Every structure is written in structure tokens, then in C-alpha cells.
Amino acid sequence: MKISYNWIKEYLDLDAKPVDLAEKIERTSVEVDDVTKPSDGLKKIVVGHVLSVEAHPDSDHLHICQVDVGEAEPLQIVCGAPNIAEGQNVIVALPGSRIANNVKIKKSKMRGVPSAGMICALQEIGFSEDVVPKAYVDGIYVLPEDATPGDAVYDYLGMNDSLIDLDVTPNRGDMLSLYGTLHDLAAIYDKPVELDHPEVKEDGAAIDDQLAVHVDDALSSQYRMRLVKNLKLAPSPMWLQIRLWNAGMRPINNVVDITNYIMLKYGQPLHAFDYDKFNGEDVYVRTAKAGEKLTTLDENDHDLDENDIVIADQKGPIGLAGVMGGLDASIQEGTTTVAIESAVFEHDHIRKAAQRHHLHTDASQRFERGVNQAGVQEALDAAAQMMNELAGGEVQKGTVVGSHNIPEPAVINLTLTHVNAILGTALTMDQVSHILESLGFEVTISADTLTVTVPVRRNDIHIPADLLEEIARIYGYDQLPATLPTGRMTMGSLTAKQRLVRATRKSLEGLGLNQAISYALTTADKAKMFMMQASETTELAWPMTVDHAVLRMNLITGLLDDIAYNSARKVKDVALYEQGRVFYREDGQDRPAEEEHIAGAITGTLLPAAWNQPAKPVDFFQMKGIVAAYLKDMAVNGDVTYVPNADMPEMHPGRTADILVHGHRIGFLGEVHPSIAKKFKVGATYVFELNLQAIVDMPKQENQYDVISRYPAITRDIAMLVDNDITNEQIVALIERRGGAFLQSVKLFDVYDGVKVPKGKKSLAYTLTYQDKHETLVDDAVTQAFDKVSKRLEEELGAEIR
């Protein structure tokens, strides 16, 4: 809500400049979006009196005007506005002036005729199109008759006021009005504020004989109407129009403007109906019936919902309560009798109706947050009074009341001890009671206790904590001390799981992978790829896009998306890992289980080509090396084995292995199936994904010290020819099993399956290291063990030792 600095000053004796006032509001009550002065940036824009208007000889719409701008000679200005006429006072941008958007106006020629400046529309001097009175939207604006030619126009149009745009939080509905804001400012500046209260001059007949209202209390806790007859519709006086457009509202006519003005002043939305357009003399406040329709003031048609509150006459709805009135019973030319409605509608219904019909209006915004329920009649009276004063209407006797449930003010007890204990302050009773009283709250004190009566307008305050906020903000958060919690000592340490997750990240970074954080919401297709266990998908009820509609059940697709993003930007070497959750859902369950996973993906080369080394494209074994090193870092207890898996549809059937720890599958690694890679638009990519939770839960090997033998080790190399389907793992396992007591390690140093070996065979070569921890090994012992294992290899694996 934009609030006028000048309007505030009518009620409050303030020295503060607008920016300082805004700063104070922001620090003490609600956020301020900005402070603007409409005349800022404008230059040399004055009142001009149109002395004569002639048609332009070479144009069918341009006019040549002689305009008195308060100087010795009139200016000749060419003007294209259709509504230009002799005798008008108009807005003139002089030569050398600046109008909206920093546009400079110079002397020029228009179709050959010299033009010294420009006659302006309101939009051209910075008014938003939707606040310009309808009569002037498509033409120039006409200033009042008593404007003096040559004067700057700003004061005539209220443009020297400063407007403070408040961003009111949902709890502070009271700040959506001048009066509400004044109450807060009174406390902030610790100054009295004098508000005016209307006195209605009633005339004519009793309203009860002319109008009856029938209200469902549950929908409208208060519903009041007044009737004003014999009104003369006319444009509002300038001061009123200025208030409205400076608040961002379009002036329409005196009657409608008065309802809007009262809303800005009191925060109470009003609606004016044309009484003569009612069918009958009864007005109903009820929910809409199935099939009912309403055309609202903005000329949009709405199919009403059975949860919409409507104002209706005998025939049907004439307004969407608290949101927008209907077109049929609206104030239009010829209206003479007006029924003014001042009411409180149930906020939840209003919120939903505004959403349902996409009609977020100034009225609905206020009803959603709650209006001052103690001020409904006063606002109504003020409006009736103004209609008498400004439109010559006769206010009929009395108010018709359909419901009148005014809540009792909240009474809250609070102790000074509590205030200081929670705020961490040392405030005195005087300070606290003074703050509360300055907000307009009633305070009685008994010993340590304050009994606070909160005015109904502050519908956000119900409990002591609410009062604490009032005290704290008015006292000032800057004055609060800054301390740290004391009290019993607590331990701050990571859990074993948290430590392992951190170690996981460090390990993989050390191995060359960058941490990625991808989207957990993905497409239905991607969610289901690279599955490590069977699961139902978990889908969003109302996704924003199909790209982020289903919860992932793997991390790899996210990494492939990342690689594709890089690849599309010509970044071809990518090494990523991600640690995050996948979501497995059992059939019949609404909620998925969340499992921590860790995954990696590499493409291109891990080490870029450099002047001293060629690029080495990533391959299976590079990824396997990373996984093996990582699992070693995690010190899982038990053998890690890699078992071929040809059955994962998204993986290369010959280059994929399940990863088993002590026989339990914890994940897989391998090359992404080329057709899947193609789908993702990525090159050859190697990936792994592991169940991190499983790694967390596994028993771990503690570090231990092993004496390093002082005795020399003896090595023997063995090369053998075996059938292609014999695996390295089989050979190593056999050597380790049959290698004898002194065998320390087996290391593969060559694999060859080229032209020098028979078809269907491959050659493997290993270095066997023997060592005795307690004495020097004798050569014979090694030879004996070596011969034995060679024989076993021949017998059990059909190896041909070379």
C-alpha cells in the first residue's frame, strides 16, 4: 500500500524527512518497498492556458495552439490530442523540459509548423495508465479553471507529495490504512495523534422502511448499510482525486471515490450499490447457488462457486462479497440513490474466492487479513457524511444492520519479569507500559503484572508473545544486547554417519571428481532408470513442468543431465559425483523411503592432455580404480568383489559390474549403454552408484599397525596362457589360496590377448612377492612354494605356464 507523507502530516506533527520516516517504519513495523516523489526527475512542466486552437493545414488530427504559459508571449504548440480545446488549462512541457522516463523536450517542427514544447497527458508526466481518470486516458489532461498559467503543475496534481510503499506482512492488516499506520507512527515517534470522527447529518425517511438485509452470520459477522438519496454524480474534487491516484487508484466519480477514500483512510472496504437497480427492497448475504453467474464491475463474467459469498437481491447475485461488486447494480451515470455497504466477511471464504476468480482486489486483500471490526459503523458514517458534503446526497435516517458481532478486545496479562527474561533486556515497568500505551493499548499495573487491553483493530495480538513483539520493536532491536545462550553445556559433534558422508565427499574429491548438486525432481522416464531395487514412482500432484514431476530413484540420470549441459557448452571432460537421496516407494504407501546414495560419472578424460602427457580417454578401469580407492578409504570390512552384470538395460552389457562387499550388492559401475548415452546427448560415459546408507551401516576395519619386516623380500614373476573366460579374479584367488605361508602379494603386471597368443586365449603375468617376517627367506622355500602354485594353476585353471 502506498501511503502519502502529506496525509500523514495532517495528523502527526513530524519533522522527519520522507526517507527517514520510511526507514523508521521499516525498522519498527513493516517493510518499505520504496519511497517515491512523483515530481522527481521532471523539469519545467507548467500550467498553460489554451488561447486558441486551429487545425493544422497538413494534418487531419494535429492542432496548432497558442498557449499562455505566464510569459509575455504565448507559445505556439502543435498538439495531436483529440480533446484539446480553447479555454482549457493544460499541462505544458516547455522547451528544455524533462518529462517521464527522462525524455527531453525541445523546440521542433511538426509537419512544417514550429512547436515550442508539448501539451501533455498524465501518462507523459509519469502517471500509470491505470490511475488516469477515464476521461483523460486517451488525451491530454485538463487542469482546474483556477490554475495559474506559468505555475509548475506539480502541486496542482499532488506530485510533490512523497509516497511510501509499505509491504505489509499478513498479520498487519491494520497497516493497510492511514489510521492504522498513524497508530503505529504515534508509538514510533512517541507523539499524540488526533484522528477525526464523522458526524452524519441525517435527512429523509427511516432506512428500515426502504431496505432490509438478511445475513448469514457465519459468512458476515457484521453487515451494515446506509442509504443516500438525491445524489449528484460528478468528478471528485481535486484533493480527493489526488489522494486516490497517489495511492494507485483511479478516480471515477464522487460516490465511488468516496468509498475508496474511506477504505484508504480507515482500512474498511465499502461498496456502493445503485439502490434503484435492486430487485425489491431486500438484500441477502448468502453463499452462491449452483449455476448462478455474475458479471463483475470489470465486465468479466464469473460462474459462481457454492463457496462464494454473494450479495444478492430477490433475483440473484449483485456482488461477489468482499471482492468486487456486480456490474448491474453498480454506480453509473444517472444513479441518484446509493446503498453503502460496510461489512466484515469471513476471511477464508474471501481468500478462496479471490483465488478462484483471479480477483485480488484492494477489498479482498483487506478482508483476508481482517479489518477493524470496531470501526465498521464509523467508516460507513464517514462515507455517508462525505456523500452528503460532496455529492449533495440526503443520508436517510439510521443504519440497517444485518449482523453485528463485534469481538471483545483481547485482555492479556504479562509480567515485567517475563518481558525481560525473554527479550534479554532490563526494561522498567514505566518503559514497558509507556510503549504499550503509545500504541493505544490500555494498561493497568499490579505489582509485577501488566494487564493489557488491546484494541479490536489490532486483530494480530492475542497472547503475551504478541505483546513482546510490540515492546521489542518499539523499544528498538538495535537497543537489544547481543549475547550467546548460556545454560547447560552441550556436546557438538558429528554422528558416525555424518562423518562418513563428509569423508565420502573428501575422498571422491581427492580422486578427481567435482561435487554436483542436481535436481531431485525429474521426468518419469529418468526417475526409473539405473534402478538398484524395485520401487514404485512418487509423482507430484501438480508439477510445474514435466521435467520436474517425479522423484528420482537414482542419481546417475541427474549427473548425465549435468554432463549433457556441459557437453552442449563444449565442455567435454567432466568428472562429477553427487551425494544425495533417492526415493523408493512401496505400492500402497503414500510416502517414499529416502535412501542416501553416492554416484559418480566421468566422460572425456580425467586428466586433460598436456604438453608432457597425452590425453587418456576414461575407461572402465579408471572408474573402477576410483571406486576401489573410495571403498578402501571407507574401510569396509570384507572383500570387495566385482561381478559382471549384463542385465541392466541402461548399462553396457559387457562393461558393467555389480559391486559386492562381503557378498552383499551395494551398487554397480560401468559404461552407460551407448544408446542411452545417445539419448542424453553425451559421449562414452562411465558411472557408478552406491547405496551410501549401506556403506554407513557396514562394519568397518579399524586402522592397525603392522610391523614392517626387516628381512628381504623375494619376488618371482609368472606368466601364463589361459582361456579367455578365465578371470583375473579367479587366478589371483587361486594364487592367494595356494601361494604358501610367505606369499605377501600378487600383482598383475601384464595382460595380452593380441596376435602372439592362440585364438581364445590370453596371456597374464603376475609378480609374486614372498617374505618372512621373522627371518631371511631361503631361496629353496620360495622355489618350492612357487612351483606348487604353478602346478595348481595348470591343474585347476588349465593354465599354460610360460
Partner 1 sequence: MSLKDKLSELRQRGLADIKQSTDLKDVNQVRVQLLGKKGPITEVLRGMRDLDTAERPKVGAFANEIRDDLTAALTQRKEELEQAVLNAQLAKETIDVSLPGTPVAKGEPHVIQQIVDQIEDLFLGMGYQVLSGPEVEEDKYNFEMMNLPKNHPARDMQDTFYITKEILMRTQTSPMQARAMEKHDFSKGPLKMISPGVVYRRDTDDPTHSHQFHQVEGLVIDKHVTMADLKGTLQVLAHELFGDKFDVRLRPSYFPFTEPSVEADITCFNCGGKGCKVCKNTGWIEVLGAGMVHPNVLKMAGVDPDVYGGFAFGVGPDRFAMLKYGVDDIRNFYLNDVRFLTQFTKKG
Residue number, 393 or 600, with CB nearest to partner 1 = 600
Q: How many CB atoms lie within 10 A of CB 525?
A: 11
What cell was used for 482?
A: 547481543
* Nearest one of 278, 274, 290, 277 to 338, comparing CA atoms: 274
* Nearest one of 362, 448, 343, 346 to 403, comparing CA atoms: 343
* Nearest one of 222, 266, 282 to 362, comparing CA atoms: 266
Nearest distance from C-beta of residue 753 to partner 1, angstroms: 28
- CB of 761 closer than 8 Å to CB of 721: yes
Placement of cell 525429474 in the chain? 522
Nearest distance from C-beta of residue 477 to partner 1, angstroms: 4
Q: Which residues, in sequence order, are CB contacts of 389 under 8 Å at separation 6+?
A: none
DSSP symbol at 627? H
Residue number, 487 or 663, with CB nearest to partner 1 = 487
CA distance 713 to 116: 105
Is residue 470 marked as binding?
A: yes
Is residue 460 marked as binding?
A: yes
Residue number, 202 or 466, with CB nearest to partner 1 = 466
Residue number, 620 or 742, with CB nearest to partner 1 = 620
- CB of 255 closer than 8 Å to CB of 233: yes
What cell was used for 422?
A: 525473554
DSSP symbol at 162? -
Nearest distance from C-beta of residue 193 to partner 1, angstroms: 20
Residue number, 80 or 440, with CB nearest to partner 1 = 440
* Nearest one of 137, 342, 337, 359 to 255, comparing CA atoms: 337
Nearest distance from C-beta of residue 464 to partner 1, angstroms: 8
Nearest distance from C-beta of residue 628 to partner 1, angstroms: 15
Nearest distance from C-beta of residue 592 to partner 1, angstroms: 6
Residue number, 108 or 514, with CB nearest to partner 1 = 514
Residue number, 474 or 666, with CB nearest to partner 1 = 474
Nearest distance from C-beta of residue 536 to partner 1, angstroms: 12
- CB of 785 closer than 8 Å to CB of 733: no
Count Cβ neighbours within 10 Å for each residue of 584-601 and write b for 16 or more, e otherwise: bbeeeeeebeebbbbbbb
Residue number, 103 or 540, with CB nearest to partner 1 = 540
Nearest distance from C-beta of residue 491 to partner 1, angstroms: 6
Residue number, 607 or 721, with CB nearest to partner 1 = 607
Q: How many CB atoms lie within 10 A of CB 545?
A: 8
Nearest distance from C-beta of residue 108 to partner 1, angstroms: 34
Q: In the β-sheet with 514-515, what is the strand arrangement from edge to edge? A: 514-515, 574-584, 593-603, 685-691, 664-672, 651-661, 640-644
Residue number, 615 or 778, with CB nearest to partner 1 = 615
- For residue 489, CA distances in Å to 400, 485, 495 come to 66, 10, 18
Q: Going along 9-88, which residue ranges are E strands?
A: 31-36, 43-55, 63-68, 75-79
- For residue 754, CA distances in Å to 266, 726, 758, 767 come to 93, 16, 9, 21
- CB of 150 closer than 8 Å to CB of 17: no
Is residue 469 marked as binding?
A: yes
Nearest distance from C-beta of residue 250 to partner 1, angstroms: 27
Residues annotated within the binding site for Mg(2+) are: 460, 466, 469-470
Residues annotated within the binding site are: 460, 466, 469-470
